[in-house]
A and B are shown apart, each in its own frame.
Chain A
Amino acid sequence: MSDRGNVSLAVLEDRAKFIRTETVRLTKIAGAGHYSSTFSCAEILAALYYAQLRIEPAQPDWPDRDRFVMSKGHVAIGLYPVLADLGYFDPSELDTYTRLGSKYGDHPDMKKVRGLDFSAGSLGHGLSVGVGMALAGRATSRDYRTYVLLGDGELSEGQIWEAVISAGHFGLQNLVAIIDRNGLSIDGHTEDVMKIEPVHERFASFGWDVQRIDGHDLPSLLEAFRNLPGGGTGRPQAIVCDTIKGRGVKRMEMSLDWHVGNLVGEDYDDVMAELDAGLKPYEPELAE
């Protein structure tokens, strides 16, 4: 991506909008989809894929490419359109989403999806995958970074903390965990279902460098990426992104009703129009 690093905020905002509208469109094909946990990380995905990752879509197996592991695999619906948009595959393939024989299921399969660095779906595994990729980078003297996008609900999985401990122990400075701290898991607020705060302190206590930012603010995301140190041995990097589950569609923001859903008829058209108009300020008093 030759223009990487010079991409404008307007372009990134537009790509975040594209991630949201494509999520709504693809969900209609499937009849059910993960809207709100994709909306919470739309800016994160846009900033990563259009401004940060060192990738060459024409060479998906390039050994020196940065790796991206989507640990919260149910957000594949937001990742597929990005990969198609970047040229990994023909966007028309997205029209098969979840239909019998499609390469594109609700959870992503690396053996079918060009440009996908690892499969996902069982929460709690992705950071371990990233640890292995980072160790392999060190063992082969390659300077790529490995980025892992984690949900906040999956931080209850014990394997996450096995991986957190090991990344600190091995000094994997080339490993970046991005936590989509959207506040909700399926059954409620994370702090009610299973408390994870103070999440930044928890990572720091295991030897990680931690930044905590507004995960919908693109300049903050880009600055956090700029703050990442070079590879080599040191401290693994965590970016805790405070986000709003369902961000961008008023009825979904911080709602427990839209983890999985399906918009039909006028609702579909209304939401598409709402997204097309761009993000409005978040008004928490309207949230459930």
Chain B
Amino acid sequence: MTDMQHESEIFRGTTTGKTAFKDTRSVRGTPKAGMPAFVLGEELAALAKSDPRIVVATADLASANRTNDFRDAFPDRFFNFGIAEKNMITAAAGMAACGMIPYVATFASFSAILGAEQIRTDCAYPKMPVRVVGTHSGMSMGFYGTSHHALEDLGMLRCMADLTVVCATDANHLRGVLRASVDHPGAMYIRLGRGRDPEVYGTVPEITFGKAIRLREGTDLTMIATGSQVRAALDAAEALAGEGIQARVVDMHTIKPLDRDEIVAAASETGAIMTVEEHNVTGGLGSAVGEVLLDLPRLPFLKHGVPDCYVEVGPPAALYAKYRLDAAGVAATAREFFTGRG
């Protein structure tokens, strides 16, 4: 799939004049084998079959985030709030106060950034089990521009007490996150990519929030990645292995609470750490890991992400290449980091 195809799919239906589809994948015919799908609504519907507490809401983006799969299965437990994210998030807290477990989904730029105060004051502070889902995070909205990018959400939300902050890696990982989230106490922010992220997990992993997943062993350095950058880090590690550099790769899916033990192990066992994230280098995964490293003996450490700026517009793949967040860019950055260290 090209980026341009992807961009037209963000607002499915606009190219055909239709407003909604039973199954948008059929618009482009049968999906290619192995092509990941946006499983959010489908997985929530599966969970809701045995759990009447689960309700879902969106803000006029049911087709873009596939919560329409849930709507079709449970129309009485689905609420479209229109373009009113603050009301949606706070109303979800009201539902949670009455025993429901609401999943509310919209673009991360609007769920996390526009709704930040509602997440803090109405969800995290009163410990309401609201799951705020931010889709199309980072710069995956490409040429739609800064208003639709979310490169600050992790930094904004991880300083809120009693809020679990999780990044889903791919479709199977998202399924695992959703399954583990149902009975998790308190409020949660679940950060997703574009919904068709390249596969990392061949099967649904068992997720424990706050426990990272070590995906590749290595002795020379550790790449701690999250979300969309896990695949890029794995591919980069593969390339580096051909050059004799053995990189450990860790999927740090939970940004808060952070898996401190895994970071300490990476520091002591590989001696160098590079974080990789589709987020501003200020405030996100790199900053969180750096806070842990402050307590440890000094070691080579690099935060790799988007520099502290508003990124250019462009197709997502072009942006990932420009900001060195594709596999080649991550590999090049890691190579420089490894060979340049003293």
Contacts and interface: CB of A to CB of B under 8 A. Distances in A.
A39 to B, nearest CB: 26
Contacts of B98: 63, 67, 132-133, 136-137, 140
Contacts of B94: 69, 118, 128-136
A133 B121 contact: no
B121 A125 contact: yes
Contacts of A128: 86-87, 90-91, 94, 118, 122
B86 A63 contact: no
A132 B76 contact: no
B337 interface: no
A163 interface: yes
A163 B85 CA distance: 11
Contacts of B100: 136, 139-140
A110 B125 CA distance: 10
B92 A122 contact: no
Interface in A241-270: none
A170 interface: yes
Contact of A110 (B90, B92, B97, B118): B97
Listed residue (B77, B86, B91, B118) with the most chain A CB atoms within 10 angstroms of its CB: B91
A201 interface: no
Q: Secondary structure at chain A's binding surface: helix, strand, loop or mixed?
A: helix
Interface residues of B, number: 29
A129 B79 contact: no
Contact of B87 (A109, A111, A131): A131
A121 interface: yes
Given A121-B121, A139-B77, A131 B99 contact: no
B90 A129 contact: yes
Contacts of B97: 67, 110, 117-118, 129, 132-133, 136
A136 B90 contact: no
Interface string B104-132: 00000000000001100110011100000
B79 A118 contact: no
A170 B82 CA distance: 12
Interface of B: 52, 55, 76-77, 79, 81-82, 84, 86-87, 90-100, 102, 117-118, 121-122, 125-127
Interface of A: 63, 67, 69, 109-111, 117-119, 121-122, 125, 128-137, 139-140, 158-159, 162-163, 165-166, 169-170
13 contacts: A63-B98, A69-B94, A118-B97, A122-B121, A125-B121, A128-B90, A133-B97, A135-B95, A136-B98, A162-B84, A162-B87, A166-B81, A166-B82
